[in-house]
A and B are shown apart, each in its own frame.
Chain A
C-alpha cells in the first residue's frame, strides 16, 4: 500500500459541488503533479461536512487544518505554502462570525464543537464511492455480527432496547415496527427505505446518501434479516442526482463483494436492493403513497390500517424507514443499544440531524444529542442571527411542523416537547427567522405548498387546504375579515381529524402554531391593515422622510410609475395613489430617506 504524508479531504456533496468543488479537485490534482507531490499527498473526495455556506471546504490531515471558500486561484498558494513549505495559509482559515481570530483546526470550530455525530459519522470523512473506506471504518461489521451471532429476534430486541424512533417525522419506535413485520405471516416481505426527502429546508437524507451510502445498504440488509425479507427498495428523489449516482455505485460494489445478493457472508441469507426514483410528488414521502408509487402507480395514500407492516408493498408485510433512521442501525449494532440509549432524553434517544438554514450565520447540517436546546443550536452552533437582528422564531418540521417563538428557546428539543409546542420533529429542517419575516405570510407559504402537493384523493385535504389558503391570502392582501381567525381554527381542527394521510392531517400545523404564538400579527393584518414585519406588499406604504431627503431626485427617476415628484434640493413626495409599492425607490436612495411601514 502506498504511503501518503498528507491527505486532503474535499467535499463533493451537493452544497460544495454547487460552489465548484469539482473543478477545485481537478486543479489541485494538476498542481500536485506539477510539483511532483502526487505520490506524497492524496486528494480524497468526501461527502458533506455540513458547513455548506463555507464551501468549497477542504481539510488537510494529519494536522486537521480547515480551509473554507477555497477557489481555484488559491490552490497554487496552498500547494506552495502548505504542502511544500509546511506553512498554513492563514487567509483561507475560518473565523467565528463574532470574532476575527482565525481557527486552524477543524474540531475547535464552534459549529462542530457542540455536535455529536452518529448518523453522520462517516460524512466528510470517507470517500463515499469506495466501499473499502466504509469497511475500514468498521462498515459491514454490524451485518456480519447479526448474521453470525444474533437471531432475528435478538436484533429486534436490540433495536427496541436502543429506543430508536423513526427520524422521518412521526417518531414511531423502530424496533416495534420491525417486530410487527417480523410477526406478520407471509413468505415474501420487503424492506423499503424512504429517501423521498421532500420537506423544504431539509437535506440530511441527501447528505447521508451522498456521504455514506453503504451505511443505508448495510442497515437495510440487517432489517431484512430481522424481519425475514430478501428484497429491499430505496425510493429516492430524482432531484438528487449525486445521491442516485452514489447509491447505484454502492449497490454494485456491495454485490461484487458478496455483501448484497445471494448467500451473504456464506450464511445462507439472501438480500438485494433495487432503486426507485421519485418523480416530484411530495405526497410520496407519506409511507402508503410511497409504496403505491413503488408499485408503479399514482402515488396516492391509502387508509391505515392495515399498516404496511401487515399489508405493504404488493400487499406483503413491509417495513419502511427513513434514511437517517437506517444510518443509525449499524452503529447501534456495533456499539450496543445501551451506548445509543445513553444519549438523548428519556423518551427520545440518540442524536438528531438538523438542517440549519434561513436567517442564520452558519447554515448547514448539524447533528446533536436529542434534548439539545434551540438556544445552543441557534447561537452556539449557528453563530446567531444574520446581521445580528433579533431572533423571532424557528420553523421546524417543514409543512407539517410549526413555528417556535423566542420564549421557547430553552426548551430541550425532542419528539414530545415539539409536539407539546405545537410543532413536530418532521425530518428536522430548522429554518431560522428574524423580525423581517411575517408569520402570516409564512403560514400562507406552507399552505400554498401543501395545497399544491395535495393529491386530491380525500376532500378534507383537497378542499380544506384550498379554503385555508384562500383565507390566508385574503389576510395578507389586506382584505381579511374579523371572522377569519375563527374560521381558520375551525377548518384546521376538522382537517386534522378527518384527512386521510399525514400530509393532510398535519397541514394546519403551520397555521395553528403561528396563531398560537403570533396571533397579534394576524390581528394587525385583519384589524389595523398593517404587516408588522413589512412583508405583505398590499399593506405597506412608502413615505419619504423630509429631514433625510436631500432632494437628489434619484428615487423619482427610478420610479416605474412616476409616483414621486418634487423639486431638486427640496424633499420629494410619494403619491400613495399611484405608488405600486415595488420598493425601487427605497433600494436606490443613498440617504436612507425612504421608510416602509
Chain B
C-alpha cells in the first residue's frame, strides 16, 4: 500500500473530477459504491492512488475502500483493453457451448481469460448471465451484444473491432 499523503498537493487538480463526484453525493447515506462507480466510469479503473484519494476525502481508512473495490467484480484495479470482450458464462449459454466460444477467443487472441492483449486492444472476460438467454450463446464487446454465436464467428468479431481501433 502506498502512503496516503503522497503528492497530495499535486493531485488536487488532477483529481478535481473526483471532488465534484464526491460533492454531488455528500448528503447521501451509503454513497461509497455510487462514487466508485462514477469514478471508474471516468477513468476506466480504480488505481491505488485514486482509492487513497477517495479514502482521504471521505475520511475513511484506505483499507475500507480497498476492501470494497476488491469485493465487487465490476471494479477494476488494473487498466483494461480498448475493447472489452465479455463472454456470458450463464447456464443457458454454457449448455449451448459458450465454453467453446471462450476457448476459441483465447486461441485467436493468444491470451487467457482475464488478460489483455499486449497491444492493449482487447481484454477477454467471462461474465455472469446477461439475461439475453434467448440468443444464447452471447457475448458483449463493449456495449454491443452479439448473439447466436458459433465458433466460426470469432474471427469476424475480432476483425470487426480491430478495424475500428
Q: How large is the interface on A (under 10, 10 to 19, 20 to 34, 35 or more residues)?
A: 35 or more
**Complex contact B67–A298 (CB within 8 A):** yes
**Complex contact B135–A18 (CB within 8 A):** yes
**Complex contact A429–B91 (CB within 8 A):** yes
Give the complex CA separation of A19 and B33 in angstroms. Answer: 32
- A-B residue pairs in contact (CB < 8 Å), sample of 30: A15-B132, A17-B145, A19-B135, A52-B133, A55-B135, A198-B129, A200-B89, A200-B94, A200-B128, A201-B91, A202-B129, A202-B131, A238-B74, A239-B128, A277-B37, A279-B72, A279-B74, A280-B72, A280-B73, A280-B75, A280-B128, A296-B29, A296-B30, A296-B68, A358-B95, A365-B134, A398-B91, A431-B92, A431-B95, A433-B95
With known contacts A296-B33, A445-B94, A18–B145 Cβ distance under 8 A: yes
Extra 9 A-B pairs, beta carbons < 8 Å, given A203-B129, A207-B131, A358-B136: A14-B145, A15-B134, A15-B135, A18-B135, A18-B138, A18-B145, A198-B128, A200-B128, A364-B134
**Chain B: minimal CB distance from A169 (Å):** 15
A-B contact count (CB 8 A): 138
B146 to chain A: closest residue by CB: A18
Give the complex CA separation of A293 and B30 in angstroms. Answer: 8
Chain B interface residues toward A at CB < 8 A: 29-34, 36-37, 67-68, 71-75, 89-92, 94-96, 127-136, 138, 143, 145-148
**Chain B: minimal CB distance from A12 (Å):** 13
Q: Which residues of A contact B91 (CB under 8 A)?
A: 200-201, 357-358, 395, 398, 429, 431, 445-446
* A241 lies within 8 A of chain B by Cβ: yes
B131 to chain A: closest residue by CB: A203
**Complex contact A298–B71 (CB within 8 A):** yes
**Complex contact A281–B71 (CB within 8 A):** yes
B70 to chain A: closest residue by CB: A298
**Complex contact A276–B92 (CB within 8 A):** no
* A199 lies within 8 A of chain B by Cβ: yes
Chain A interface residues toward B at CB < 8 A: 14-15, 17-19, 51-53, 55, 197-203, 206-207, 238-241, 276-282, 293-299, 314, 355, 357-359, 363-365, 395, 398, 429, 431, 433, 437, 442, 445-446, 455
With known contacts A53-B134, A294-B30, A298-B67, A357–B73 Cβ distance under 8 A: no
**Chain B: minimal CB distance from A461 (Å):** 15
B93 to chain A: closest residue by CB: A200
A204 to chain B: closest residue by CB: B131
**Complex contact B134–A359 (CB within 8 A):** no
Q: Which residues of A contact B95 (CB under 8 A)?
A: 358-359, 431, 433, 437, 442
Give the complex CA separation of A429 and B73 in angstroms. Answer: 23
**Complex contact B127–A239 (CB within 8 A):** yes
Q: Which residues of A contact B147 (CB under 8 A)?
A: 18-19
**Chain A: minimal CB distance from B160 (Å):** 14
**Complex contact A297–B32 (CB within 8 A):** yes
Q: Which residues of A contact B128 (CB under 8 A)?
A: 198, 200, 239, 280, 282
**Chain B: minimal CB distance from A477 (Å):** 15
Give the complex CA separation of A197 and B129 in angstroms. Answer: 9
A53 to chain B: closest residue by CB: B134
Q: Which residues of A contact B129 (CB under 8 A)?
A: 198-203
With known contacts A295-B30, A357-B92, A281–B72 Cβ distance under 8 A: yes
